[in-house]
Amino acid sequence: MKLLALLLLPLFAMSLSAQSAPTVAEAQDFMNRAEIRLNEFSLKTNRASWLQSNFITFDTEALASDAIDEATAATTELVEQGKRFDGLQLPPDLRRKFDLLRLTLTAPAPKDPVLRREMTEIGTSLEGDYGKGKYCRSNKPDDCLDITAIETIMATSRDPHELADVWRGWHAIAPPMRQRYSRFVELSNHGARELGFKDTGALWRSGYDMPPDAFSADLERLWQQVRPLYLSLHTYVRARLVQKYGPQIVPPDGPIPAHLLGNPWAQEWGNIYPLLGLPETKGDYDLTEILKSKKLDAKGMVKYGEGFFTSMGFDPLPATFWERSLFTKPADRDVVCHASAWDLDNQDDLRVKMCIQIRDTDFVTIHHELGHNFYQRAYKHQPFLFENGANDGFHEAIGDAIALAITPEYLKQVGLIQTVPPVEADIPLLLKQALDRVAFLPFGLLIDQWRWKVFSGEIKPADYNKSWWELRKKYQGVAPPMPRSETDFDPGAKYHVAGNVPYTRYFLAHVLEFQFYRALCRESGYQGPLNRCTFYGSKAAGAKFNKMLQMGQSKPWPDALEVLTGERQTDAGALLEYFAPLKKWLDEQNKGAKQGW
């Protein structure tokens, strides 16, 4: 008998033999058994997925597909069996577990094992295609660029023709995904409907302790809060790019060409800071050059991230973290280089997977990824279904809040700089932060705006690319560097689309991180301009932080937010406070300029 059948046999027996009305005791027994099995499948799937991400071959993709298919079948069956207790009055914690069980799968699969297997294999192949993706330049057939090399060129080149060529080359990996992606959407929606949801997008939006429509409205409220700041930044950046490249390349009143913003997806703009014409200020520093001058290797970079958390009272990472993580891109094989944090056994087998480069952006990313790991360890004592972030935005915001505290004062404390720049350096520093954090906000919002419409059928497969660029223009004010058509599939050139990873979490995180950051600053006793705060070394801030982290997903997220911040609503007020000096400065620079596109 297959392992799956053996594992589920007690549950089938209980379900089939139960003739009388269900009781609370039976519901509790069902859930106890379910969590044991879910934990077992989680470990098996995590190990197979880790292997597939780090050794991309036909066989590892097959192994990952097998593990995911088995886990998906088990979870789907458990959800189906759990429906027996839907009308039963249960204690709040138990009812919450049943609700979370229904939301366990981000890719709900059909019950039909043939369709489920098809969907699993498509999902694995899409992620594998992304990880293996390369662009071999036509004039240099032996010069094949993976995403790490492409990111470096996009970050450093100032030749618009080279940037357009590399941009086009990377996006060419995606068209072969298009038909499979459309089928994946069909199958996922089939599974979502069998679980009682309208479509997969509705399932995703149900994971925020509020009705899906209310969640959509809340996102729009947050976007309207931050949109004026984004428009000011966009106007300023566009004007400087017109000066650099000329109006024939950058339309003075139109959207910014996406290949000129320092990143393959135009999602963060920090790499074009040198083009914005700010004069050097006394005490200005280049963190990338500092890190290189220290002769740091990848592990040395990660040690700084760990040190921030231990300075706040958290225990060091386990020895296995250093033995089992992937820190640099191997020279002999394909790997998925997209940075990620892993908790393989839901206890202490914590890992990161990164192709670390010695540069400032990776220094920040390391702090972000370790935020996941320290959060994962903090809630390891919770029951399985509560071993998660209060919502997925929380999980992303933890490390980002720490990264905000990578201020000059922090860098001085850890010996990376000798003096803290004066107050007049605040605008350049805030601008650098805004180019990453504020520029990201509309991108963080639009990915799932596109996917939710795809899942609902509002966007048809024949309009995938057209609708993608309409949303990018609407929210970001960016445009492709050359004409695009439905022979392209530009969404697939973004990992989270190919890998089926929900993305709204990142938009939420870029708001929540400032709420967390302000609360931690206050707890540390800091007084002064918010953008200058670091809570490095504050045990008081660490203790309050950990109190929230340990809750995991055991309570609705407003309860967790209140523990740390005293607030029960996601709000961009802290973000706007942080960037208030920059907003005033940008508006002065933009006098007479047209906003929008």
pLDDT above 80: residue 255: yes
At 597, is the secondary structure helix, strand, or coil?
A: coil
Q: What are phi and psi of 379, to 5 degrees?
A: -100, 20
Q: Which two tokens stand for residue 541?
A: 């801030």
Handedness of CA 59, 334, 326, 264 (dihedral sign): negative
- The residue with greater pLDDT, 283 or 476, is 476
Q: What is the pLDDT of residues 62-101, one digit of tens each?
A: 888 888 888 888 888 898 899 899 889 999 999 999 999 9
Cα-Cα-Cα-Cα torsion 398, 430, 412, 152, nearest 10 degrees, comes to: 80
pLDDT at 17: 44
Strands 144-145, 135-136: pairing is antiparallel
At 141, is the secondary structure helix, strand, or coil?
A: coil
Identify the CA nearest to 417 among candidates 543, 510, 283: 283
Give the chain's length: 597
Mean pLDDT of 470-494: 97
pLDDT confidence band for 283 (50 / 70 / 90) = low
Q: What is the mean pLDDT of the chain?
A: 91
- CA 301 from centre of chain: 21
378 within 8 A of 549, measured Cβ to Cβ: yes
pLDDT confidence band for 103 (50 / 70 / 90) = confident
Mean pLDDT of 238-251: 97
pLDDT at 15: 44
Segments in 414-458 forming alpha helices (H): 426-456
pLDDT confidence band for 310 (50 / 70 / 90) = very high
pLDDT at 141: 64
pLDDT above 70: residue 1: no
Side chain identity, residue 563: V
47 to each of 320, 377, 404, 507, how far by Cα in Å?
14, 18, 32, 29
pLDDT at 4: 36
410 to each of 387, 417, 495, how far by Cα in Å?
31, 9, 32
222 to each of 86, 304, 565, how far by Cα in Å?
34, 33, 18
Least confident range of 26-35, 179-188, 340-349: 340-349
Distant-in-sequence, close-in-space partners of 533: CB < 8 Å, separation ≥ 6: 405, 407, 517, 521, 524, 526
pLDDT confidence band for 286 (50 / 70 / 90) = confident
Residue 326 DSSP symbol = B
pLDDT at 71: 86
Mean pLDDT of 462-468: 98
pLDDT at 68: 85
Q: What is the pLDDT of residues 542-584, one digit of tens each?
A: 999 999 999 999 999 999 999 999 999 999 999 999 999 999 9
Identify the CA nearest to 99 among candidates 122, 118, 83: 83
531 within 8 A of 434, measured Cβ to Cβ: no
Determine the straight-line distance between the first and last CA of the chain, rounded to whole angstroms.
63
SS3 content of the chain, % helix, strand, coil (to 5): 65, 5, 35
pLDDT confidence band for 306 (50 / 70 / 90) = very high
Q: What is the pTM of this model?
A: 0.87
pLDDT at 277: 86
Q: What is the pLDDT of residues 47-58, one digit of tens each?
A: 988 888 888 888
Which of 393-397, 437-441, 527-531 shows the highest mean pLDDT? 437-441
pLDDT at 139: 65
At 189, is the secondary structure helix, strand, or coil?
A: helix
pLDDT above 60: residue 3: no
Tokens 């899906």 belong to residue: 212
Q: Cβ atoms within 10 A of the Cβ of 157, count?
A: 16
Number of alpha carbons in the 13 Å side-chain half-sphere of residue 230: 28
- What percent of the chain lies above the pLDDT cut of 90? 75
pLDDT at 5: 35
Mean pLDDT of 339-345: 90
pLDDT above 70: residue 438: yes
Contacts 24+ apart (CB under 8 A), 69-73: 69/109, 69/116, 69/117, 69/120, 69/121, 70/3, 70/4, 70/41, 70/44, 70/45, 71/41, 71/42, 71/44, 71/45, 72/105, 72/107, 72/109, 72/116, 72/120, 73/4, 73/109, 73/113, 73/116
Least confident range of 96-110, 222-236, 427-441, 511-525: 96-110
167 to each of 236, 274, 447, how far by Cα in Å?
23, 20, 18
pLDDT above 90: residue 140: no
pLDDT at 335: 83
pLDDT above 60: residue 13: no
Strands 135-136, 340-343: pairing is unpaired
pLDDT confidence band for 135 (50 / 70 / 90) = very high
pLDDT confidence band for 16 (50 / 70 / 90) = very low
Segments in 83-206 forming alpha helices (H): 92-102, 113-132, 147-156, 160-171, 178-194, 200-205
pLDDT at 57: 84
